[in-house]
Chain A
Amino acid sequence: MRVRARGWLCLFLACGLAGWSCAAPADPPVWKAVPEVRDWLNGAEPQFEHLHLDLPLVSEEGMSVPLAIDVTSAMTPDDSIVAIRVFAAGNPQPEVLDLTLDPRLGRAVFETRIRLDESQTVLVLARHSDGRVFAAEQAVRVANSGCLARSEEAFDAPMGEPRVAVPDPFPADRGHGEVRSLILHPMETGFREGPDGEPLPRRIIEDFSVSLDGEIVLAARFHAAMSANPYLAFRLAPEQDGELVLRWLDETGEERSATRTVRVVD
Chain B
Amino acid sequence: MRKMVSFPSRRRRVFAAVLATPFLSTVMSVAAADPVPVTTLAYGCMGCHAAPAAEGSGIRTLAGRDADDLLAAMKEYRAPGGTASTSMHRVIGGYSDVELQALADHFAGQEP
Residues of A near any B CB (own CB < 8 A): 61-63, 90-92, 115-118, 142, 144, 146, 149-150, 152-155, 186-189, 191-193, 197, 199-200, 224-225, 228
A230 to B23, CA, bound (A): 27
Residues of A near B53 (CB, < 8 A) are none
- CB neighbors of A among B6-20 (8 A): 6-7, 9, 11-20
The answer to whether B9 touches A152, judged by C-beta atoms less than 8 angstroms apart, is: no
Residues of B near A225 (CB, < 8 A) are 15
Chain B's interface: helix, strand, loop or mixed, by majority? loop
CB of A154 to closest CB in B, whole Å: 8
Number of interchain pairs (Cβ within 8 Å)? 81
The answer to whether A117 touches B11, judged by C-beta atoms less than 8 angstroms apart, is: yes
For the complex, is B5 an interface residue (Cβ under 8 Å from A)?
yes
The answer to whether A61 touches B14, judged by C-beta atoms less than 8 angstroms apart, is: yes
The answer to whether A188 touches B17, judged by C-beta atoms less than 8 angstroms apart, is: yes
The answer to whether A228 touches B3, judged by C-beta atoms less than 8 angstroms apart, is: no
The answer to whether B19 touches A91, judged by C-beta atoms less than 8 angstroms apart, is: no
A189 is contacted by which of B15, B21, B23 (Cβ under 8 Å)? B15
A186 to B16, CA, bound (A): 11
Residues of B near A224 (CB, < 8 A) are 15
Residues of A near B22 (CB, < 8 A) are 144, 146, 149
**B interface bracket (residues with beta carbon within 8 Å of A):** 20 to 34
Residues of A near B11 (CB, < 8 A) are 90-92, 117-118
Residues of B near A197 (CB, < 8 A) are 3
CB of A4 to closest CB in B, whole Å: 35
For the complex, is B72 an interface residue (Cβ under 8 Å from A)?
no
Given contacts A116-B14, A117-B14, 4 further A-B contacts (CB under 8 A): A117-B11, A118-B14, A149-B21, A150-B19
For the complex, is B48 an interface residue (Cβ under 8 Å from A)?
no
A188 to B15, CA, bound (A): 9
Residues of B near A144 (CB, < 8 A) are 13-14, 19, 22
A146 is contacted by which of B4, B15, B16, B21 (Cβ under 8 Å)? B21
The answer to whether B5 touches A193, judged by C-beta atoms less than 8 angstroms apart, is: yes
Residue among A62, A116, A191 having the largest count of chain B Cβ atoms under 10 Å:
A191
